[in-house]
Amino acid sequence: MLTQQKYLLALTISHIVSSLMVINEIHSKLQYQMNIYIFLPVAILIATSIAYKYVQSMLIYVASFTVLAICSFIFWSNETIIKEVFLHKPSYGCIIYLVIMIISAIVMPFTSPNSIFGIRIPQTEDYPEVWHRAHVFTSALLSLMILPTIIVIFHMEPRYSFVLCNIFLLVSLIIGIVYAVIIAIPIEKAEKMQIAKELEEQIKKEQGYR
């Protein structure tokens, strides 16, 4: 799956799930056409996946992200939703968590192994490929969590929203770590087999000289 497709999928799922949960919570009935802004991104996601097979141009994904952004803006700027969802002033702690999630989601795909930032476990530090794949995956997870986090910090009381912000961030990071460990298994196995093969050949050469 392309990196762009991962982000489009994550953001589309985030938009749909968050929208449906909000509709279930609010008491006022929304206009029927609001459903279009919820489910249109799904059709766009499917159409994009099909179209890219025939026309491999990044402009397709640019257009898809644009449509998703427009649908999200129209839905979440609805007066009824603003009135019934955004009820509380967010705490500074929640805002800090949100900023961390946004920055991490943006920066992670562009990082290389380092001693300061990122998922620093033996698998990611030993294999640059695992580092890159794990950070792109975790970045997509964080992207999925950003919209629910925004809703939570404005809709719930600060003491509850702070707990959920912790959960959203930590769960994303833990899943990213597990993913890194899993994808490193075949790489480590192949490396061990290669070392064993080279050692066997070296032994055969040494025995041949005797």
pLDDT tens digit string along 142-175?
A: 999 999 999 889 888 888 889 999 999 999 999 9
Report the predicted TM-score, pTM, of the whole model to 2 decimal places: 0.83
Least trusted range by pLDDT, from 19-28, 41-50, 104-113: 19-28
Annotate 24-55 with b (16+ C-beta within 10 A) or e (fewer). Answer: eeeeeebeeebeebbebbeebbeebbebbeee
pLDDT tens digit string along 65-109?
A: 999 999 999 988 888 888 888 878 888 888 998 999 999 999 999
